[in-house]
Amino acid sequence: MLDITELSRLSGFSASKLRYYEEIGLIKSIGRRGLKRLYEDEVKIRISVISLAQTASFSLNEIKKMIGTEGRPEFDAATLNEKADSIDAKINELASLSKGLRHIANCTAEHHLDCPRFQRIMRAALIKRSKTRRTRPDNTVSY
């Protein structure tokens, strides 16, 4: 059993954020001591997942659909695999961006946006993107 302060310290999430997550049904407290919320240990793994999923740019709504408050999945295997695919695509883009940044860190060109090697790296990332996605979401570039 944890109170909100302990959970906050352990998770690095502010107490207000934890209350907010509870309010929107992402986590739940198992009871109260007086007014004070009490949390089960299980909530820690939920918070880990939430944290990771946010890193992967899932909205709180999507996360809720994935892990639900009751621990029931709302996504079928196909949907989960699709999410995993889109994460993998993102990983590839990030790898390119990282490579690009490391390049311009060492590149002697005045204007790194003009550096042909940098441009090649960026283009490569976008080519992958257009290959791996079916439809064109808002943020997509494909020349």
Partner DNA sequence: ATACAAGTTCAAGCCAACTTGAGGTCAAGA
Partner DNA sequence: TCTTGACCTCAAGTTGGCTTGAACTTGTAT
User: Hey, what are 32's tokens?
Assistant: 């109260």
Considering the complex, what minimum distance in angstroms separates the CB of residue 11 from a copy of itself?
Answer: 5
Query: Could you identify the residue written with the tokens 């918070």?
Result: 47
Helix, strand or coil, per DSSP, at residue 32: strand
Site string for a copy of itself, 69-108 (x = CB under 8 A): --xxx---xx-xx-xx--xx-xx-xxxxxxxxxx-xxx--
Question: Is 15 a residue that touches a copy of itself (CB under 8 A)?
Answer: no
Q: Which stretch binds DNA (CB under 7 A): 56-64, 69-77, 84-92, 97-105?
A: 56-64
Nearest to 92, CA basis, from 142, 136, 129, 135: 129
CA–CA distances in Å: residue 74 to residues 67, 69, 99? 8, 11, 37
Question: Is 54 a residue that touches DNA (CB under 7 A)?
Answer: yes
Q: What is the DSSP letter of 71?
A: S
Spatial CB neighbours of 38, under 8 Å, sequence gap ≥ 6: 1, 2, 3, 29, 30, 31, 32
| List 23, 34, 111, 134, residue binding a copy of itself (CB under 8 A) | 111
Binding site for DNA (CB under 7 A): 3-5, 14-17, 19-21, 29, 33-37, 54, 59-61, 138-139
Binding site for a copy of itself (CB under 8 A): 10-14, 42, 44-49, 51-57, 67, 71-73, 77-78, 80-81, 83-84, 87-88, 90-91, 93-102, 104-106, 110-114, 119, 122-123, 125-126, 136-143
